[in-house]
Structure 1
């Protein structure tokens, strides 16, 4: 199929042209079983009206990606990955004139009103040299230009920092004296580092870990939480006076246990909980009778509604609890995260613990899919960055004129 396209911005940023041809690009492809991964050539599609082709520069690996590889989610995308940045490689007719070939962009992976677009879940994602962004996402404003000075080494942190920022934004109206973060993955560590800018300099941060290796990583960090806790000691935690906010940054198979442990904590002040971690369908908690947690989490999507919907419920013990959840982020959360990373990059850089290319990523991903051990090459893996070689293609590439 012949489609209008722009020029691949390997070194320059020329105007869009119309060309024809066929070609392939390299991608990490899921095959018959969840853990069967391989780098393979895929057809490169020239974008049609309103579409864009994005050349990935750096992609990240998220906890939900690992859940997909373990078969814990049934999302159909053959190529996954929703964190990262890239450059516009080809432009379909009728797109926003600001979205020109060569522009550095981040893609908001979650459409707030159109469930058919969920990048890396039901739409093929960023673990490939070219990603086709459909017109519904482009029209929805989900392709966001970034400053040319954006540090690509921090790109895998942009979307998870936006997730943490969304949660902290929801907590800000409350009198939060203590922030408890359950989950020592990327979102948890980012929330620790961003908390005081959002909640004030006096907020006390508590990071709850699930493994000894995670606890050791935090103990050695330059920007550690005020209190580091093993998950087995959570019910012994005494947050002290004032309101408590809890961020559940947990894998979907651990969220309900963490929620029940939080509801059993002895508290002196108010409690507000954000269920960022996923939930299997039909999940309920005996500690919150009658509360549809899955529906509650789905009530906020991609920044809508605004202000965020927060439920007030009564626990089985008679405690009034404010609880919310959210999927995805708004564009403003991504742009704020980009500004924060540019403002204080060294506060966050140590969280990108591992880096590899497309071929090297396959071995790391297979390891993460088979085991919950996140020690790779002798070091705790928090965030893996996959770097792509600009313009590297197989065969004749349709968005590069010959």
Structure 2
């Protein structure tokens, strides 16, 4: 089969490797689509706890092709999605119910072979039926699951005002989940006009165009002079995190959701956080949110039409990365092996 194979950070080739064979408890599926996201850029650079050699791709949807011994509840030809994230079950964090914070966390596409390949293997316990979804919907199951975990971290109170900075796929999914949850109003701010148009179509109450130079933030002051109960930074840019804290209402919460470089830092006033009782929290990924994500996609609570902007063949993986990194028209980029 053809697969993207990294030998080391930034060093990869699209090459032929043997088809994987499912072992006991495993499922092999033919990958229909695999999403490319900002995490894959970090994996490319060798961060985000990636282990090499590696075939990345942690957002796959595919058709069951072979079933290992002892697997029940799946059949050949069934469309599935795979979560790919698991804890060891034995470390201190796992034993206290914090499996996502496992000190030996495994993630298909990050620590083991993922979906940028014609075929992929996953433990059956990590696979979920998606036969009633189109592949263009199902490929967004993993981003939706991560967004659901983010909302769980926020636990918004009824009547909250929310600001989501960043209108990438996960930012827009988060905005939809907040709008359909306890938030009374949801504002989305981003530099891209066409992404903001999509945010408005998905139900954002206000959209604000901001610049990477800090322009546009005054408009957020007009909308919420005293700040927002919830501010989500879904950009992965430390400079945005720096500005976002100033838009949190007294007693409000800042959720750091985007993936920055590990070396990035942000300055803030401890007294300001103390005096205004600001909560700063993070949302890393997900580990048990796939059932809820699939339910949200099935019900239409999370709309996906228009999110996918670019589809590349596996041979064009380098172009897919370049598009995600630098093309201002890019939204959700996917690989079709």
> What TM-score comes out, normalization by structure 2 length?
0.81
Alpha carbons 1:53, 1:88 under 8 Å: kept: yes
Distance 2:12 2:59 in 1: 19
Q: Shift of the alpha carbon at 1:381?
A: 1.1
Deviations 1:362-381 (A, max 9, x none): 4222444xxx4224xxxx11
Is 1:162 the counterpart of 2:145? The answer is yes
Is 1:178 the counterpart of 2:178? The answer is no
Distance 1:363 1:43 in 2: 25
Question: Paired residue for 1:215?
Answer: 193
RMSD (Å), alpha carbons: 2.9
Question: Paired residue for 2:95?
Answer: none
Q: 1:274 to 1:320 in 2, by over 3 A?
A: same
Distance 1:346 1:111 in 2: 25
Q: 1:374 to 1:72 in 2, by over 3 A?
A: farther
Alpha carbons 2:80, 2:128 under 8 Å: kept: yes
Alpha carbons 1:110, 1:119 under 8 Å: kept: yes
1:129 aligned to which of 98, 111, 118? 118
Alpha carbons 2:55, 2:117 under 8 Å: kept: yes
Q: 1:235 to 1:287 in 2, by over 3 A?
A: farther
Structure richer in strand, relative to its length: 2
Q: Looking at CA atoms only, which structure, 1 or 2, has the larger radius of gyration?
A: 1
Q: 1:100 to 1:347 in 2, by over 3 A?
A: closer
Distance 2:107 2:79 in 1: 21
What secondary structure sits across from 2:160 in the alignment? Answer: strand
Question: Paired residue for 2:229?
Answer: 244
1:364 aligned to which of 320, 327, 331? 320
Distance 2:264 2:322 in 1: 28
Q: 1:274 to 1:104 in 2, by over 3 A?
A: same
Question: Paired residue for 1:27?
Answer: 3
Distance 2:59 2:295 in 1: 17
Q: Shift of the alpha carbon at 1:350?
A: 0.6
What secondary structure sits across from 1:349 in the alignment? Answer: coil
1:320 aligned to which of 274, 277, 290? 277
Q: Shift of the alpha carbon at 1:102?
A: 3.1
Alignment of 1:78-227 (within 5 A): 78-95=54-71, 97-112=72-87, 113=99, 115-133=104-122, 137-138=123-124, 141-146=125-130, 148-200=131-183, 203-209=184-190, 211=191, 214-219=192-197, 222-223=201-202, 225=204, 226-227=206-207
Alpha carbons 2:32, 2:135 under 8 Å: kept: yes
Q: 1:125 to 1:335 in 2, by over 3 A?
A: same
Distance 1:128 1:381 in 2: 22
Alpha carbons 1:61, 1:83 under 8 Å: kept: yes
Is 1:276 the counterpart of 2:257? The answer is yes
Alpha carbons 2:208, 2:216 under 8 Å: kept: no
> What TM-score comes out, normalization by structure 1 length?
0.69
What secondary structure sits across from 2:121 in the alignment? Answer: strand
Q: 1:176 to 1:281 in 2, by over 3 A?
A: farther
Alpha carbons 1:26, 1:39 under 8 Å: kept: yes
Alpha carbons 1:88, 1:102 under 8 Å: kept: yes
Distance 1:181 1:81 in 2: 26
Q: Shift of the alpha carbon at 1:40?
A: 0.9
Alpha carbons 1:82, 1:125 under 8 Å: kept: yes
